[in-house]
Amino acid sequence: MPFRVFSLAARRTVLGAALGALLCALAATAPAQKLPPEMEAALARAKVPREAVSVLLVDAQGQGAPRLSYRANVPMNPASVMKLVTTYAALDLLGPAYTWNTPVFVEGAVRDGTLYGNLYIQGQGDPKLVLERLWLLLRRVQGLGIRSIAGDVVLDRSAFEVAAVDPASFDGEPLRPYNAAPDALLINFKSVVMTLAPEPGGSTARIQYDPPLAGVQMQPSVPLVAGDCGDYRGALKADFSDPNRIRFAGAYPASCGEKVWPVAYADPGSYAVRAVQGLWQELGGKLQGSVRMGVVPPAVAAGKPAFTVGSAPLAEVIRDINKYSNNVMAQQVYLTLGSGRFDTARNVVLGWWQERMGPQDAPVLDNGSGLSRSERISAQGLARLLQSAYASPLMPELMASLPITGVDGTLRRVKSRATGSAHLKTGSLSDVVAVAGYVHGAGGKRQVLVALINHPNAKAARPALEALVEWAASPR
């Protein structure tokens, strides 16, 4: 369990805690400095005051005074940059090779291809049980000689104690996949992936839906129209409001070619049931009972699973979390640290922070993903964490999970003189933009850079952060 792993990790990292405190000591006492002129100019264009900004640029190994320190000890909303806390804590507490298991239990006898009983799929928090892996799971069921199930398929999500959440509650965007809620049996991020492809020489575009959802009518095609691709999603005039039907009142521009559009399903509570039943039937499986939510009976759980599906290792999972800022995956990891409870996860991570980084600059935690209005951390606290990680054996795993400027992840489209020279986690909310990570500076020096902006015009200040990264990577 996380608590026992934590106690072992704590003994291994006493030296790291002392080093982390020492590395940020100069930053904590440094006087405020002027921001780079390029950044100042970009902030002025965005109409964002300097008082809405917090910046710290220090040597990754803590050598010398900070190159730049401005309001570094002020707690700010970090948006998705908070994922650095969750992912580094998970690497340290669980280990980079940690995996999640999804056991499958068979109750009853199998005769002539029919299971006379129930099939149980027990979720245990796998952050990436996507369509392909669900397909493989059901194929393994068929590999047991089961083609028909006379009983039910029971989906057990009881490993997490998470209250139901309205997906529109955060920002009024219930169909955005980033608003998906965590789930012990999280299937395909509770999203439908639509692939639109014009038929060669035809007048329509075919639509493929993955996964197939049982009981949902899905419009198979839309008319093609001429013109620029532009806002093809708006041109389709999609209606996702009815959980039993997906339809389009518009058309698809032929110039778009093939496009992939992921959408959160309108009724997330029934998603897993519909996805498992739909995919089982598409594989040719028969079901006399139903797919339903439930709990594996103690007598069944006490036995050996028919088989277990393992996840990718944590080191691979955090690449998806940080490179693409996947909120629900981050929450899955956070809940794993808390044995399925948010309040326990907060206590575990704060306890880890206390022993790993010391009592200073502890974050204010909510769900561990940064998709929150209440989470807070200072630039100094994030720098302390990043310097601690740099001195840790886990540094390669954490750094490799961060987007590279102008190369991949959330920084793929950022082209500048700093292309390829920084590994930075990004963060964005309606009134927040942020970056934090490592910048390869002149002379081969690795630096820790943290910049947080909290202001209603924050999104317009992205060029200010890009200018800061260029400045940090340039010789001075």
Q: What is the pLDDT of residue 47?
A: 98
For 262-317, write each residue's pLDDT tens digit.
999 999 999 999 999 999 999 999 999 999 999 999 999 999 999 999 999 999 99
Domain boundary among 295, 311, 327: 311
- 326 in the same domain as 407: yes
Whether 245 and 377 share a structural domain: no
Tell me what pLDDT residue 470 has: 95
CATH code assigned at 402:
3.40.710.10
Which residue in the block uniquely carries the two structure tokens 């110039």?
255
Q: Judge whether residue 167 has pLDDT over 80.
A: no
Same domain, 195 and 272: yes
pLDDT band at 476 (very low <50, low <70, confident <90, very high): low
pLDDT band for position 3 (50/70/90)?
very low
- Mean pLDDT over all residues of the chain? 92
Assess whether 436 and 448 both reside in one domain.
yes
CB 33 within 8 A of CB 56: no
Residue that the structure tokens 């909290």 belong to: 454
| 304 and 322 part of one domain | no
Nearest to 429 by CA among 74, 82, 72, 181: 82
Same domain, residue pair 22 and 158:
no
Higher pLDDT, 393 or 63: 393
Asked whether the beta carbons of 58 and 439 are under 8 A apart, the reply is no
pLDDT, tens digit, for every residue of 301-359? Answer: 999 999 999 999 999 999 999 999 999 999 999 999 999 999 999 999 999 999 999 99
Residue pair 211/188 in contact (Cβ under 8 Å)? The answer is yes
Query: What percentage of the chain carries pLDDT values higher than 70?
Result: 92
Domain match, 52 and 115 both: no
Residue 25: pLDDT band with limits 50, 70, 90:
low
CA distance 283 to 276: 11
Query: What does the alpha-carbon distance between residue 189 and residue 171 come to, in Å, rounded to a whole number?
Result: 18
Whether the predicted pLDDT of 428 surpasses 50: yes
Look-up: residue for tokens 């927040």?
432
Work out how many domains the chain is built from and give that number. Answer: 2
Q: For residues 253 and 389, give the distance between their C-alpha atoms in angstroms, rounded to a whole number.
A: 48
Is there a single domain that holds both residue 357 and residue 421? Answer: yes
Tokens for 85, please give them.
């806390």
Instruction: For residue 319, give its domain range.
Output: 2-97+313-473
Residues 296, 339: one domain? no
Domain C-terminal end among 286, 311, 336 = 311
Region 176-196: mean pLDDT is 92
**Is 114 in the same domain as 251?**
yes
Q: Please give the Cα distance from 162 to 177 (Å, whole number).
A: 18
pTM for this structure? 0.92
Domain-ending residue, one of 311, 330, 363: 311
Transcribe 104-144 into DSSP letters.
EEEEEEEETTEEEEEEEEE----TTB-HHHHHHHHHHHHHT
Q: Which CATH number is 226's domain given?
A: 3.50.80.20
pLDDT at 366 over 90: yes
Query: Per-residue confidence at 168, pLDDT binned at 50, 70, 90?
Result: low
439 in the same domain as 290:
no
Q: Which residues contact 76 (CB under 8 A, 6 or more apart)?
A: 54, 376, 377, 378, 379, 432, 434, 452, 454
Q: Based on the fold, state whether residues 80 and 108 are members of the same structural domain.
A: no
Query: What does the angle CA 441 – CA 447 – CA 452 come to, to the nearest 5 degrees?
Result: 115
Closest CA to 368 of 353, 346, 396: 346
Q: What is the pLDDT of residue 205?
A: 97
* pLDDT of res. 174: 67
What tokens does 91 get? 């690497």
Mean per-residue pLDDT, 35-47:
97
